[in-house]
A and B are shown apart, each in its own frame.
Chain A
Amino acid sequence: AQSVAQPEDQVNVAEGNPLTVKCTYSVSGNPYLFWYVQYPNRGLQFLLKYITGDNLVKGSYGFEAEFNKSQTSFHLKKPSALVSDSALYFCAVREMGTASKLTFGTGTRLQVTL
């Protein structure tokens, strides 16, 4: 079975400060890891993914994430937060293989204030 843990329900950060949204995962094989963002009443918007290769992955809107195999973590980061980054962020994992499902974490609400 595969699972994702996002230990923080909400993260608060001031605009211009760096942000980190935490994610740890569990999967029996090799993982595909993803971050999605969801704005109110909208669909899931892809931010970035780790498949293989470089542990530091760069994605949309200045976000990046670092894959750490020994800690089974895939934390989302951004050097300088914007108020417009305020949204719900989901970490997700799927096991490599055809048609394997994507399992989401419970989501972390990011609130960026002026």
Chain B
Amino acid sequence: AAGVIQSPRHLIKEKRETATLKCYPIPRHDTVYWYQQGPGQDPQFLISFYEKMQSDKGSIPDRFSAQQFSDYHSELNMSSLELGDSALYFCASSSPFGGRPGELFFGEGSRLTVL
């Protein structure tokens, strides 16, 4: 079965550079969530989109922005990168319909390292 696809899986950037992470949800899923997991930390909610509109906002820095496109894929744009942005970034998708209501399906994550 198709899963949530994230790219790139690994990314290395210098301080003050920009980075873009991409997320392709499971087909027919209309909601996308972004989470950030720092070393030894629990996943922290950043932002979510439902039907291409922002539905909720968590601890996302102002330097970050995200959007969901017409094909439901989402991109997380990070600018002026700081060392503390080094983390595993997870994308998840969900659908209110189908046989597994309420469940979020996670991708394998994109590991960002800022040097």
> Does the CB pair A98–B96 fall under 8 Å?
yes
Residues of B within 8 Å of A, CB-based: how many?
Answer: 26
A106 to B107, CA, bound (A): 20
Does more than half of chain A's interface fall in helix, strand or loop, or is it mixed?
loop
Check: B33 CB closer than 8 A to any chain A CB: yes
Per-residue B-contact encoding for A35-55, CB less than 8 Å = 1, 0 else: 010000111101001010000
Residues of A close to B55: CB separation below 8 A: 98-99
> Does the CB pair B102–A32 fall under 8 Å?
yes
> Does the CB pair B31–A46 fall under 8 Å?
no
| Interface hit among B11-19, B41-49, B77-85 | B41-49
Q: Which 3 A-B pairs have the closest CB atoms?
A: A99-B50, A32-B102, A43-B108
A101 is contacted by which of B56, B102, B106 (Cβ under 8 Å)?
Answer: B56
Per-residue A-contact encoding for B33-67, CB less than 8 Å = 1, 0 else: 10000000111110010100001101000000000
